[in-house]
Structure 1
Amino acid sequence: MKLGVSMWSIVHEYQKGDIDVEKFIDLMHQNNVEGIELLDYFWKDKEKELPMVVEKIKKYNMEVACYSISNDFVMPDEKEREKQIEYVKQGINDAVKIGADKLRVFSGNTKEGVTYEEGLSWIIESFKEVVKYGEQKDIILVLENHGLFAGKSQQVKEIIEKVASPNLRATLDTGNFFLVGEKPEEAVENIKEYVHHVHFKDFKRSVAGKGYKGLNDVYYEGCILGQGDVEMRKIVEILKEAGYEGYLAIEYEGPDPQIEGLIKSIEYVKKLLGR
């Protein structure tokens, strides 16, 4: 397995104006990270920055572990769903330009008046459309376990199996499973054959009102990897046994200062991988 980092790990630093895409790549190079996950959220001027990113990654002999967008297919209005389909297709185009071979995608968010069955049907229908484009461009769409339509491992599995394309696989987010009442290691075991990307994240149980609210009003907050409740080592063992050789892309969501917490998380994963 390879060491990666998602730029989402330093989102607070970006929002404060202390770091941008170029500085993030420099920081990851300094910490001997093999691959980076970039998100469309962080572009200030995509047309100007994208060629610079391609050049810098080549200079540092790094890889783009994944490119990520935040689509939402749970749209009652058909025209709005069509816009989301076009958004994903643009994400596929950008992934090609940036040298990624996979695109992280979402299913969609709950909406008032929309039943689970309705939302799921739109998600599956939309994915059947966009995977065709992914197949043409040689890009794997990797669906993250996120939200209530695809938060549980079985939900992700169902969507992948109903779309039935080798170009739709899973992004495994090790922390998010807690928010839907699943033990991460059990969820990984359930979905291991479809994993094509990993968000390596650690969460710990929190007090009411602090962090992310999960099912049954249980709260979790992010932390330095190895210091929370996720069985990180066990998950690596399951993935290894399943033959996964891709990236463990750290997604640090612990408290500020984020860069400090991220670097400690990088050191933890290096030791876990025997680096």
Structure 2
Amino acid sequence: MSSNRNRRAFIRRVSALSLLAGAGGVLPASLISCVQGNKKQGSAAESDSLAAESGSAGELFFKISLAEWSLHRALRKGDLDNLGFPAKAKNEFGIDAVEYVNQFFMDKAKDKTYLGELKKRCDDLGVTSVRIMIDEEGDLGNVDEAARTKALENHYKWVEAAQFLGCTDIRVNARGEGPAEEVAAAAADGLGRLSTFAKDYNIAIIVENHGGYSSNGEWLAGVMKTVNDSNCGTLPDFGNFCIERTEPEEETIEAYMATKCLKDYDMYKGVKEMMPFAKGVSAKSYAFDNQGKETTIDYPKMMQIVKDAGYTSYVGIEYEGVGNISEDEGIRKTLELLKKTGAALS
């Protein structure tokens, strides 16, 4: 395998946000500036006025879940494990719906004893399992048909695990290398075939803007139109809109952290383009000011886009861990921000 291919594989394995876990959870300045640059395109005056309104959460137009990635540092350090995640969500944050990340129980997809224990804990707590986010199972947009089929088959076990846990869907990636049109066609094929398989399990297949072509809202919306399957949708993420990065000089986390975003996509435009197909929403958060406002994403503007699309299902908290606050505090701040923003819009 060539060095270039090795490097591309490394970049896929450790995407910009996944790398944060192993590097102490601190977002490099280049990533923050990329997100902040996008934010400037929003309407700050109108959003500031909306965000200033106070009040209890009341009846929100959406439901709130907690994405396991919000606790990636604790999980990687061993301070928390996947089985303990539902109790953490319910007992410490009052959140009764969870979204798993397969990286934290990668070898357990077919382990019914393990999955049974996880399901029992959720049932005992009154916690709903919403989805499993799937990584490291191959590229569903691989232009090589054999490799794409292998990736497709690798996802089958997670569809079955999701059904066992009572989830509604699994989140997958539409990655691939090659011209945009070819990757789009390949992704539509892979997603369409996986969606057909998952129908028998009553599990939907949803795609996140997660780097590369998929972080281009227009491209991903086009893939959805080609798939044209009600069992396949999107998971708009408020923060994943860097579509091209510099390559790291070597295959280390430190080298990757030094890379820069060469091209990013308007986050508000991207979310708006994906919302017609949304079966989930990921409320990404990075950093907060003293008033509890997210400093890189205009939350009132984002949530207005979500509401305007008629979306009423789960909005998952996904705190990335930037700055000096803990993961727990970041989750609480995101939860409070969602409640305040939602109350003002509901």
- Normalised to the residue count of structure 1, the TM-score between the two structures is 0.84
Question: Is 1:21 aligned with 2:86?
Answer: no
Q: What residue number does 1:147 align with?
A: 211
CA contact (8 A) 1:37 1:67 kept: yes
String of CA shifts for 1:15-69, please: whole Å, max 9, x gaps.
1111111222111111111311012111166224311221111112221122111
SS of match in other structure, 1:265: helix
Q: What residue number does 1:55 align with?
A: 120
Q: What residue number does 1:263 align with?
A: 332
Q: CA deviation at 1:185?
A: 2.3
Cα distance in 1 for partners of 2:335, 2:342 equals: 11
**Which of structures 1 and 2 has the bigger CA Rg?**
2
Aligned length: 253
Q: For 1:173, give the aligned amino acid.
A: D
String of CA shifts for 1:87-137, please: whole Å, max 9, x gaps.
222221111011001111110144xxx333332222122122111112222
Q: CA deviation at 1:269?
A: 2.1
Question: Is 1:188 aligned with 2:271?
Answer: yes
Q: For 2:156, give the aligned amino acid.
A: K
Q: Which runs of 5+ in 1 are unaligned?
A: 203-221
Identity of aligned residues (%): 23
Q: For 1:87, give the aligned amino acid.
A: N
CA contact (8 A) 2:199 2:231 kept: yes
Against the structure 1 CA distance between its residues 241 and 74, is the aligned structure 2 distance closer, same or farther, given a 3 Å change threshold?
A: closer
Higher strand share goes to which structure? 1
Question: Is 1:39 aligned with 2:101?
Answer: yes
Q: CA deviation at 1:168?
A: 0.8
Question: Is 1:273 aligned with 2:342?
Answer: yes
Cα distance in 2 for partners of 1:34, 1:104 equals: 19
CA contact (8 A) 1:106 1:143 kept: yes
Question: Is 1:137 aligned with 2:216?
Answer: no
238-247 vs 6-15, which deviates more? 238-247
Cα distance in 2 for partners of 1:26, 1:41 equals: 19
SS of match in other structure, 2:319: coil
How large is the RMSD of aligned CA atoms in angstroms? 2.1
Question: Is 1:170 aligned with 2:237?
Answer: no
Q: For 1:95, give the aligned amino acid.
A: A
Q: Which runs of 5+ in 2 are unaligned?
A: 1-61, 244-262
CA contact (8 A) 1:184 1:231 kept: no
Against the structure 1 CA distance between its residues 262 and 109, is the aligned structure 2 distance closer, same or farther, given a 3 Å change threshold?
A: farther
SS of match in other structure, 1:24: helix
Against the structure 1 CA distance between its residues 69 and 76, is the aligned structure 2 distance closer, same or farther, given a 3 Å change threshold?
A: same
Q: CA deviation at 1:178?
A: 5.6
String of CA shifts for 1:122-175, please: whole Å, max 9, x gaps.
212212211111222221111101122211111111111001100111101011
SS of match in other structure, 1:137: coil
Q: What residue number does 1:216 align with?
A: none
CA contact (8 A) 2:209 2:235 kept: yes
